[in-house]
Amino acid sequence: MKTPPVFVLLSALLALLLPMTAPTSAQFGGGADPEVTLRVVPQQSVVSPGGQLAIAVVLDHKPGWHSHTNDPVIPPEMGDFTAIATEVEVAEISGAQAGTIQWPEIHEVPVDFTFTGNPIMYGVFDGLAIIYLPVMVDDEFDDDATGEVKITLSLAYQACDDTMCLAPEFLTERITLPVVSLEEAAATDQPDQSEIFAGFDASTFGNPDDWNGLTIAAASDAGESKSTGAIIITILLAAVGGLVLNLTPCVLPIIPIKILTISSHAGSPERSLVLGLAMAVGVVAFWTGLGVLASSVTAFADPSRVFGIWWFTLGIGLLIGAMGVGIMGAFNITLPQKVYAVNPKADSLGGSFLFGVMTAVLGLPCFGFVAGALLAGSATLPGWVILTIFTSLGIGMALPYLVLSANPKWVDRLPRTGPGSELVKQVMGLLLLGAGAYFAGAGIQAWLGAKPGLAADLPWWSKVVHWWAVALFAGAAGLWLMVRTVGITKKIQYRALMSVLAIVIAGGGVFAARNQTAAAADNFWVSYSSEAFAEVTGAGRVVVLDFTADWCLNCKALEAAVLNREPVKSMLLSEGVVPMKADLTSTSAPGWDTLRELGRTGIPTLAIFGPGLDEPWIANAYTSDSVSAAIAGARGTPIARR
């Protein structure tokens, strides 16, 4: 019996971590002929020190289509309909200051999103809607901004017609403008943009209220730009998870059969590789199709709101838990006999593609439990993240077929089914139970959040019990991995390696539970209420308002890494500063209205108010430096521009 590869552990971690991990932004565009076309147009191609210009974000809507406004007003007749607001935010800026955004005119159109048959009037952006961002170039330039103005914009919008909305688009646009002398700027042929900028109100450059404090706000939002590292890690973890799915008992035995089938049809190594590539594409297509199915759900609902519905979150936890029990052998996924009768020939590119699709389909009795858990847990993620995860899973699962088709002789080196492949399922099952415990606990916390009187009477540790359930299952997975590895192999090096990895699994669960427990025990945050907020802001105090929820892992990570650590913690506890937490675990939490008033719909969100800021400092992602600078600015202390 060959020893299972080290990917056993990584797959188990994948099953727990993937539904809970999400980068913060992305750059995705529409198709070849989208219903709404977005483009960003600078008013000038070059600028001079102290100069002024505007940047236009142009939304060109097809007839019958529109996008939500920057502050959607939902009529009562539309019930709980969630609109994705049009957003234009300065993520990064150097060499200039950004002013107050000028939004286009709102038009009312008849819509029937709830399919009542009685359309109602709803305010939208439609036609050629142009958003203007005024920019003032710095008078002087230091070494970090010599000769260029650099601006990064984070953009979001959602296209709708009168009955449906498409998946929202989230984009990042980077603009670089050379800074030249006044003489050079005057001699430069500037493009004629008069038609686009005819609606721009240039009087904003003479209004100080449109500029005070805006450089601070723009710099603070730098953390909201796309995290390339997080995306790469997500892709790699998902690909590793897909690779490990090949070790399950339903898939591992058929890999040699599929490779030998392709090889027999190919007749040459080159042809074998081509057919293997087509088969691999078929496997990826299957997983991408699952991703499209999962992401279609998030196109019509904001996860920040959906996961505040206690029975929904609890139900997802129970479903993931059931998948964990199933993959360990409690029950089976059985495919109809007609599915097994489908047997495409792998002697052509099209046939090999279908061959790959069916290969993935026939593995569902084993890895369908993982797919089901991912489909449920991925409802917490943006659509593009879901597609990235599922496509990467497909790439990982397809990789052995591509490699082995290049050299079919390597088939003999594959491990065989037996205790090792069963161990893969068992460890994944235990960690799925841990993920289920997390969501189930978050659902219970959401239910308690809707009953403030009951929640107030409970001890602090009641909010972290489910984290110790996660630690329990992670510990069981690590212990079982260590024990079974000793039974499967006698090689000391493999036993030692798997023991170390098992300790990482168990230790990771205990570490997370311990951190959450410490934060709950040392809770220095004031619970948010509109009355408490009005009182402390009216007294001229600095308020750091953290919008969070028990089910929001990104919130927990930022709190642990930034807010609950030095130097930020000392600033939060200093005189004149009030740390306030708006717990949005429940959909009925009072903080939701305040979040919407700030122009945000999702969490994590941190807002800082104070006498030194004309407008609140708001960020969805932040660092210790940016929060410290914002608190200092809220006190009225000058902040050095970045």
Domain boundaries, the chain: 7-21+228-518, 36-224, 526-635
What confidence score (pLDDT) does residue 637 get?
Answer: 57
Instruction: Write down the H helix ranges in 98-156.
Output: none
What confidence score (pLDDT) does residue 258 get?
Answer: 81
Q: Which residues contact 309 (CB under 8 A, 6 or more apart)?
A: 446, 587
Which amino acid would we find at residue 140? E
| pLDDT tens digits, one per residue of 298-310 | 555 555 556 667 7
| pLDDT tens digits, one per residue of 220-244 | 333 333 345 567 777 888 888 888 8
Provide the 10 A C-beta neighbour count for residue 15.
30
> Given a cut of 80, is residue 140 above it in pLDDT?
no
> Given a cut of 50, is residue 201 above it in pLDDT?
yes
Query: Which helix (H) or strand (E) is 324 found in, with range?
Result: helix 310-327
Provide the 10 A C-beta neighbour count for residue 293.
12
Q: What is the mean pLDDT of residues 1-14?
A: 39
DSSP lists the bridge partners of residue 53 as 135
Query: Quick one: CA dihedral 430, 431, 432, 438, positive or negative?
Result: positive
Q: What is the mean pLDDT of residues 507-530?
A: 82
DSSP string for residues in 369-407: HHHHHHHHHGGGS-HHHHHHHHHHHHHHHHHHHHHHHH-
Residue 502 sits at φ, ψ, to 5 deg, of -65, -40
> Given a cut of 90, is residue 589 above it in pLDDT?
no
| pLDDT tens digits, one per residue of 173-184 | 889 999 888 778
Q: What is the mean pLDDT of residues 55-69?
A: 93
> Given a cut of 50, is residue 205 above it in pLDDT?
yes
CATH code of 36-224, in short, is 2.60.40.10
Q: Which CATH number among 3.40.30.10, 3.40.1710.10, 3.90.1150.10, 3.40.1030.10 corresponds to the domain 526-635?
A: 3.40.30.10
Q: Where are the beta strands (DSSP E) in 142-202?
A: 148-157, 159-160, 169-178
| pLDDT tens digits, one per residue of 438-496 | 888 878 877 776 665 565 567 778 878 888 999 999 999 999 999 998 888 888 888 89
Lowest mean pLDDT among 12-16, 247-251, 464-468, 537-541: 12-16
> Given a cut of 50, is residue 376 above it in pLDDT?
yes
Tokens encoding 86: 């049009």
What confidence score (pLDDT) does residue 127 get?
Answer: 93
> Given a cut of 60, is residue 572 above it in pLDDT?
yes
**Residues, the chain:** 642
Provide the 10 A C-beta neighbour count for residue 42.
21
Rounded Cα distance, 414 and 193, in Å: 63
Q: Which residues contact 360 (CB under 8 A, 6 or more apart)?
A: 282, 283, 286, 287, 394, 397
> Given a cut of 90, is residue 612 above it in pLDDT?
no
What confidence score (pLDDT) does residue 606 get?
Answer: 93
Tokens encoding 155: 């953009």
